[in-house]
């Protein structure tokens, strides 16, 4: 998963015609590390999805702008608009993430 390092890179990604998923995380977050362990299973189930990660501590202004309060959080963007947001409390299991991605990527 590619790491988003700049505001410009973020803007380029979210402004595409295809949906893109951004995972907000931090290095100190145990739930983020647990999610990383089951993401391969999620990708097998959901199929081909463009997913990137942003360290909330490195780009706090982006996290604040899009109401990312807890981590990990998954946000789906398309054409520069936030389409869906899976908050950290609902991102604990592979099934929760698969359901979220299946619903939000097929809108």
Helix (H) or strand (E) holding 44: helix 30-46
DSSP state of 65: H
Q: Measured at the alpha carbon of residue 37, what is the angle toward residues 88 and 96, in degrees to the nearest 5?
A: 40
Catalytic (active-site) positions: 29, 32
Tell me, yes or no, if the pTM score tops 0.95.
no
Q: pLDDT, tens digit, for every residue of 73-103? A: 999 999 999 999 999 888 899 999 999 999 9
Q: In what order do the strands lie in the sheet with 73-78?
A: 2-4, 51-55, 20-25, 73-78, 81-86
Per-residue b or e along 78-100, where b marks 16 or more CB atoms closer than 10 Å to that residue's CB: beeeebbbbbbeebeebeebbeb
Q: pLDDT, tens digit, for every residue of 29-59? A: 999 999 999 998 898 888 888 999 999 999 9
């Amino acid at each position: 998963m590619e790491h988003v390092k700049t505001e410009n890179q973020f803007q380029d990604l979210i402004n595409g015609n295809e949906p893109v998923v951004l995972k907000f995380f931090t290095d100190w977050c145990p739930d983020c590390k647990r999610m990383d362990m089951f993401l391969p299973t999620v990708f097998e189930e959901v199929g081909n999805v463009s997913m990137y990660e942003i360290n909330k501590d490195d780009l706090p202004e982006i996290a604040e702008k899009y109401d990312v309060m807890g981590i990990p959080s998954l946000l789906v963007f398309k054409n520069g608009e936030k389409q869906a947001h899976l908050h950290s409390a609902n991102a604990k299991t592979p099934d929760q993430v698969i359901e979220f991605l299946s619903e939000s990527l097929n809108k």
